[in-house]
Structure formats: C-alpha cells, structure tokens
Amino acid sequence: MQRLLPSFVFLALSLAAGWAAAQAPSPAADQPKEESSEPFDSRTTGAVELKGDTKDWFEVLKDGKRAYRGAPPLLNNTVELSPGEYEIAINRTTRKIKIEKGKKLVLLTGTLVVEGKKANFYAPYQGTERKVSANPRKLNTPMALLPGTYRVELNVEVNRQVVLADGVNVVAGKKTVLKE
C-alpha cells in the first residue's frame, strides 16, 4: 500500500498537469487570422473586403490597373470582382489574392501609430520604399498596413529623418504603438 500511494499521487499530478496544459490557450489562438473566407451571394462573381480600424482606402488591381470603377473604397467595404487573380494594396503594401465565385475573401490589416509631440511626421519603410499612399502621417495618427515587418522613420526637421525603430512587426487585427 505504501508503494502504491506515491505512484498514485504521481499519476494524479501528471493527469492534472496534462489537463491544465490542454486547457491553456495557445499563443496563436488569440491572434486573428490575416485571411478568411465566407459565402458571397453570387453564382458568377466573388468579392474581397479589407478590414481595419482606420479611415484608409485601398485598391484592388488586375494587371496593374484598378479592377473596379469609381473611387477607391475605404476599409471595411466590399468590392465585387470576377473570379481570378488580383493584387490588393493599402499604403503601398500589397498582397496577391485569388477571388472565387460565390466567396468573399476577407483580409485584416494591422494598425501602426507613432505617439509623441516633437517630430513632424512618421513613415514606415520596407527596404528603401516608403509605405504611404500619399503624405506621411502626423504623429498620433494611425495608419493601416498589411501585416509585415517595417522600419519606422521620423521627420524631425525639414529634410532630416531618423530611424525610430527597425524590425517593427505589424500584425493582422492588432495595433502597434511606438513612442517618439
């Protein structure tokens, strides 16, 4: 009996530890998926929606040209498209996408913001390419980017930029905040 008690306690603790590990959420479980698909009510076309929490606009391109009529849509709007391969772009960040009939492709942006008061504006870069569609953002103004790794530079004086951070990871559905 005395030999069985330590074995029983060990077995019970092992089972409890295994159960607790199975109940713990994995780090990936709380990360939103960058891309998902849902039904779209059409037998001939599909659609894409780019979601985010800024007021940025995006484009859908086919062979380098806009794939729809009119002005570029704002985030959280749907663009109906013929099935095929396209490129989606926001603030000069791009992804290749495939549209299928009867399905809506939903992509999530990440948000980058630099908080502070001293610098004039900020801009994210990949390599030597500045990732903004128009003018760089003033401090404390968020911008939507497709998930990726960026270098963020500040304009501290006229024509003088400094690197604030390198290797900044922008994640789908999350806000990345840097301090000046």
Q: Do 103 and 55 fall into the same domain?
A: yes
| 130 and 92 co-located in one domain | no
114 by DSSP, 3-state: which? Answer: strand
pLDDT tens digit sequence for 28-80: 556 678 999 999 999 999 999 999 999 999 999 999 999 999 999 999 999 99
User: Is the same domain home to 132 and 152?
Assistant: yes
Question: Residue 39: inside a domain, yes or no?
Answer: yes
Residue 91 to residues 7, 12, 178: CA-CA distances in angstroms?
62, 55, 18
Query: Do 115 and 126 have their domain in common?
Result: yes
Asked whether residue 8 is assigned to any structural domain, the reply reads no
Q: What is the pLDDT of residue 16?
A: 43
Range of the domain at 60: 31-108
Q: Are both 117 and 82 inside the same structural domain?
A: no
Query: What is the number of structural domains in the chain?
Result: 2
Task: Judge if 47 and 114 occupy the same domain.
Answer: no
Beta strands 175-179 and 110-115: pairing type? parallel
Clarify whether residues 100 and 45 are in a common domain. yes
**CB distance 131 to 151 below 8 Å:** no
Domain presence at residue 11:
no
Domain check: are 67 and 116 in the same one? no
Please tell me the pTM assigned to this model.
Answer: 0.80
- From the list 51, 27, 34, the residue with the least C-alpha distance to 170 is 34
Say whether pLDDT at 21 is over 60. no
Give the confidence band of 3 by pLDDT, cuts at 50, 70, 90: low
pLDDT tens digits, 96-154: 999 999 999 999 999 999 999 999 899 999 999 999 988 889 999 999 999 999 999 99
User: What is the CATH classification number for the domain harbouring 142?
Assistant: 2.60.40
Q: Do 85 and 154 reside in the same domain of the chain?
A: no
**Within this chain, do residues 166 and 132 fall inside the same structural domain, yes or no?**
yes
One domain, residues 55 and 96: yes
**Separation of alpha carbons 139 and 117, rounded Å:** 7
Residue 19 lies in a domain: no
